[in-house]
């Protein structure tokens, strides 16, 4: 019992005691020891990096090098009283502060008062503030002046995993050292040294598996090794590590990768289930999939796989797999796995999410092939002719000035085409040839059917598009294309209906009515002066937009809008009671809606004659 009470875990017993012991942080060791040798010792340092990479250990080594009885020295002796006291955390001149639990302004004020006190026995008074990003804004502000101009005997070492949370005023007052994640091979080598010192029997493959699982954190790898040494009674192999960390055996992961690459979801689910039945964790299996697909991704862009042992253990040629799947597909697969792992952290159905991710991977289309197919289709497609199904209008010459509007739209269009310029006739001919080449011939339909189809499509569109489409004066079917005649004055309507998204919506509405894909073309009739003596009445605007535009210019309506602070909400066309009133085009009913004090609307109806 007494022996277990004094037991220290592996991570503490084998903590680095010299700069040379810092694994994977040689640049930091060289910078700190060089500063001590040259006498350029700063007053404030900032150590940043991921968890378990040696930040606090480096801070203690630096403190020992400054306080060593044989120093300041590039390497502490670890034999004098100062070095031993600092290593044990008992030196009164080296103060370690946990900013996560001492984050307020009161603690920083106490620190500022203690800074003025001289060191008890050493050369310097060193403050190591761990997780410094947890300090409050007020605490940072209280620390600023002391951090910039401390007494000559005070040194600060700030450690953090999130430097982006520190104010720029703090960062600018410190010398910054970035600690990198430790390479997998370096972690495995250090674990081998610990295993040898402990007298344990651990297979090298098991150490490499632990090192990969640690993801660059030396402390995490040592904690896993500590747990493994405590639970195993004999030689430790790969199976024991898989059981400990909840991952699947390499050959099963290899079967899963092969099934996903072969697009066999049933086989992939069977491999996943075999891994889970063997004691693996769903998240651990997806982590292994990410590691394997990452190797393939590197190979797909021309990089050699980093871990040959991983590829050999899986039994799958990851480099060949990367070339076969392609970079775009591998990127999509990795995104699917990353999203699944993120959802697992907050869901109680981890196994189901893993199965969903595996099915999505096994049914994911080859994105490289899809992109090539799209390029081939785009390069082979004929260019869109002017005035084709995209809704681009073809300009037509005006009819005779004194002639009444013909009752037969096809005859009118034929006459217009004969009187058009040669270039226009060629454009119309090319357009019709292109439509005939891509669409089967349709049975001729009556003009009434064409007008009814266009009106029905306009009603289905609704809104501004429906109002503009209702301005059409004639329509006729030309095989699988509807030719629509728009008045010369409807320039705004034509411009709006020419928009690609509006033209596509019109084509969809016509296709639903016709029961097959159809297109449309807008034919604009040029304006012609009225013949003298013509008694044909001028038709009032039929669309709501045109009515609003006409009424808003009337002086009486403008005065009413100003008087009542109102806006035009609706304009009703006139309802003639007799033949005489029907001939008055300017008779309109306007409905305006002024705002009241309580936010409700009052309706004001006003009749006027143009």
DSSP state of 163: G
Residue 582: pLDDT band (50, 70, 90) is very low
Q: Is the pLDDT of residue 404 over 50?
A: no
Q: Is the pLDDT of residue 395 over 70?
A: no
Q: Report the candidate in 519, 374, 344 with the shortest Cα–Cα distance to residue 434.
A: 519
Least confident of 58-67, 245-254, 601-610: 601-610
Predicted confidence at residue 366, as pLDDT, reads 65
| Residue scoring higher pLDDT (371 or 287) | 287
Least confident of 207-211, 334-338, 520-524: 520-524
Predicted confidence at residue 29, as pLDDT, reads 93
Average pLDDT, the chain: 77
Task: Provide the CA 486 distance to its chain's centre, in angstroms.
Answer: 44
| Residue scoring higher pLDDT (379 or 168) | 168
Task: Provide the CA 314 distance to its chain's centre, in angstroms.
Answer: 32
Residue 126: pLDDT band (50, 70, 90) is very high
pLDDT tens digit sequence for 409-452: 444 443 334 334 444 445 445 544 444 444 443 433 444 578 88
Residue 61 near residue 16 (C-beta atoms within 8 A): yes
| Residue scoring higher pLDDT (181 or 530) | 181
pLDDT tens digit sequence for 483-504: 888 888 788 888 888 888 888 8
Q: Is the pLDDT of residue 124 over 60?
A: yes
Q: Is the pLDDT of residue 536 over 80?
A: no
**How far apart (Å, rounded) are the C-alpha atoms in residues 520 and 382?**
18
Predicted confidence at residue 337, as pLDDT, reads 94
Tokens representing residue 143 in the block: 């620390």
pLDDT tens digit sequence for 81-97: 999 999 988 888 999 99
DSSP state of 366: -
Q: Give the strand order in the sheet containing 588-594.
A: 566-572, 588-594, 604-608
Task: Outline where 101-136 has alpha helix (H).
Answer: 105-115
Predicted confidence at residue 48, as pLDDT, reads 94
Predicted confidence at residue 235, as pLDDT, reads 86
């Amino acid at each position: 019992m007494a022996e277990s009470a004094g037991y220290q875990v592996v991570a503490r017993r084998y903590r680095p005691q010299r700069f040379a012991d810092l694994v994977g942080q040689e640049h930091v060791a060289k910078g700190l020891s060089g500063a001590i040798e040259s006498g350029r010792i700063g007053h404030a340092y900032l150590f940043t990096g991921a968890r378990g990479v040696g930040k606090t250990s480096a801070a203690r080594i630096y403190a020992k090098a400054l306080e060593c009885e044989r120093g300041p020295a590039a390497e502490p002796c670890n034999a004098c009283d100062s070095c031993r006291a600092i290593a044990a955390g008992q030196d009164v001149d080296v103060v370690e502060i946990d900013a996560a639990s001492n984050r307020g302004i009161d603690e920083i004020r106490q620190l500022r008062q203690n800074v003025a006190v001289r060191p008890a026995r050493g050369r310097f008074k060193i403050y190591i503030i761990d997780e410094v990003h947890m300090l409050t804004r007020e605490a940072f502000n209280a620390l600023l002046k002391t951090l910039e101009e401390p007494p000559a005997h005070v040194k600060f070492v700030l450690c953090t995993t999130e430097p982006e949370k520190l104010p720029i005023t703090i960062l600018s007052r410190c010398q910054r050292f970035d600690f990198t994640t430790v390479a997998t091979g370096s972690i495995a080598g250090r674990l081998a040294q610990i295993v040898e010192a402990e007298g344990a029997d651990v297979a090298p493959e098991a150490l490499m598996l632990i090192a990969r699982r640690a993801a660059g954190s030396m402390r995490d790898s040592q904690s896993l090794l500590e747990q493994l040494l405590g639970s195993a009674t004999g030689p430790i192999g790969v199976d024991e590590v898989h059981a400990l960390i909840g991952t699947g055996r390499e050959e099963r992961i290899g079967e899963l990768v092969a099934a996903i690459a072969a697009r066999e979801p049933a086989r992939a689910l069977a491999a996943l289930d075999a891994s889970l039945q063997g004691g693996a964790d769903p998240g651990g299996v997806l982590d292994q999939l990410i590691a394997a697909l990452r190797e393939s991704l590197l190979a797909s862009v021309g990089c050699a796989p980093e871990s040959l042992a991983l590829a050999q253990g899986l039994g799958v040629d990851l480099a060949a797999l990367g070339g076969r799947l392609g970079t775009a597909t591998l990127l999509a697969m990795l995104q699917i796995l990353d999203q699944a792992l993120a959802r697992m952290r907050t869901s109680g159905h981890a196994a189901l999410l893993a199965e969903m991710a595996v099915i999505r991977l096994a049914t994911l289309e080859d994105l490289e092939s899809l992109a090539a197919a799209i390029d081939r289709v785009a390069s082979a497609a004929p260019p869109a002719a002017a005035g084709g199904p995209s809704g681009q209008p073809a300009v037509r010459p005006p009819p005779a000035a004194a002639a009444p509007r013909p009752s037969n739209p096809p005859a009118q269009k034929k006459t217009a085409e004969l009187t058009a310029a040669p270039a226009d006739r060629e454009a119309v001919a090319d357009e019709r040839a292109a439509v005939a080449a891509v669409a089967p011939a349709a049975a001729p339909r009556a003009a009434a059917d064409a007008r009814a189809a266009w009106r029905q499509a306009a009603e289905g569109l609704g809104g501004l598009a429906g109002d503009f489409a209702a301005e059409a004066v004639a329509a006729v079917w030309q095989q699988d294309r509807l030719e629509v005649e728009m008045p010369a004055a409807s320039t705004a309507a034509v411009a709006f209906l020419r928009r690609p998204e509006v033209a596509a919506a019109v084509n969809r509405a016509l296709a639903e009515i016709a029961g097959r894909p159809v297109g449309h073309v807008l034919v604009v009739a040029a304006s012609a002066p009225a013949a003298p003596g013509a008694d044909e009445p001028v038709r009032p605007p039929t669309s709501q937009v045109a009515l609003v535009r006409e009424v808003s210019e009337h002086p009486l309506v403008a005065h009413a809008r100003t008087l009542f602070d109102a806006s035009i909400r609706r304009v009703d066309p006139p309802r003639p009671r007799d033949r005489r009133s029907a001939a008055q085009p300017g008779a309109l009913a306007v409905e305006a809606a002024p705002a009241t004090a309580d936010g409700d609307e009052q309706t004001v109806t006003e009749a006027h004659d143009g």
